[in-house]
Amino acid sequence: MDPGRLKQLLTEVQAGQVSIDQALDRLRSFPYDDLGYARLDVHRPLRQGLPEVVFCQNKTPEQAVGILERLWQHHERLLATRVSPEMATSIRLRLPDAQYDPTSRLLTLARSQLPAPAPDAPYALIVSGGTSDLPVAEEAAQTLEFLGSRTERAYDVGVAGVHRLLDQRGRLFGADVVISVAGMEGALTSVVGGLVSCPVVGVPTSVGYGAHFQGLAALLAMLNSCAPGVAVVNIDNGFGAGLYAHLILRRLQRV
């Protein structure tokens, strides 16, 4: 249950439109709803001010649909990550208003759109080493946009042609947080960290040749970066980077 719905319920109780027993019935699943195969955290929007997010990888389509249908009863906005095209088809048969992007593998449900960020709002810039990193970069970018943060992109600016990155220096220097998405040896994150004065979130991707070890080489390179101000999320974790960047931007807007 999000703050808006809870306020409405309390207002209805105060006005005598809803009895205490009826209110208790609505709150019966608070703070979590036990489906047997999942315990749904319906308290998260009140506790963290964030919509509920469902990680769908390794779930069956039936489990994903069941979770999303139940959460949709409590929330105005939902985000599902790592949704395969086949699972998205199953979900949209039951929840036809769901929007799916096959690149990011994100699926969203929203009864209303958030206001567009102000043109001068703090923003995150997502940079990627190459086009092969696009799915992870878009997972980060679209997570930020779903959460209402101003987001800009600069893709295919890897160190193999570093002039492409330097062409973006105006946006780099103006950003309030940069998400650097790179595979291979992951050098982009260190270069970005050495250029900007804002926090940098490194996202290693599982893109590269054999000794890349499915992203481990890039992960270790980013963790060992000599550039200051760099934090690193796990391999291919675009969602985690996007959420972390959103929390930074949200805090800046409160100052």
Write the DSSP string, 27-96.
Answer: TTT-SEEE-SS-EEETTHHHHHS--EEEE-TT--HHHHHHHHHHHHTT-SEEEEES--HHHHHHHHHH-T
71 and 78 in contact (C-beta within 8 Å)? Answer: yes
pTM for the full predicted model:
0.84
CATH 3.40.50.1970 in the chain is located at 123-254
With a CB cutoff of 8 Å and minimum separation 6, the contacts of 163 are none
Q: Which amino acid is at 3?
A: P
Phi, psi of 84 (to 5 degrees): -75, 160
Domain at 123-254, CATH class: alpha beta
144 and 245 in contact (C-beta within 8 Å)? Answer: yes
Sign of CA dihedral 44, 88, 36, 27: positive
DSSP 8-state symbol, 229: T
pLDDT at 157: 94
pLDDT at 51: 75
Ordered per-residue pLDDT tens for the chain, 255 residues: 556 666 777 888 888 888 887 776 666 556 656 566 665 666 666 666 777 789 999 999 999 999 898 888 878 889 999 999 999 999 999 999 999 999 999 999 998 888 899 999 999 999 999 999 999 999 999 999 999 999 999 999 999 999 999 999 999 999 999 999 999 999 999 999 999 999 999 999 999 998 889 999 999 999 999 999 999 999 999 999 999 999 999 999 876
pLDDT at 245: 97
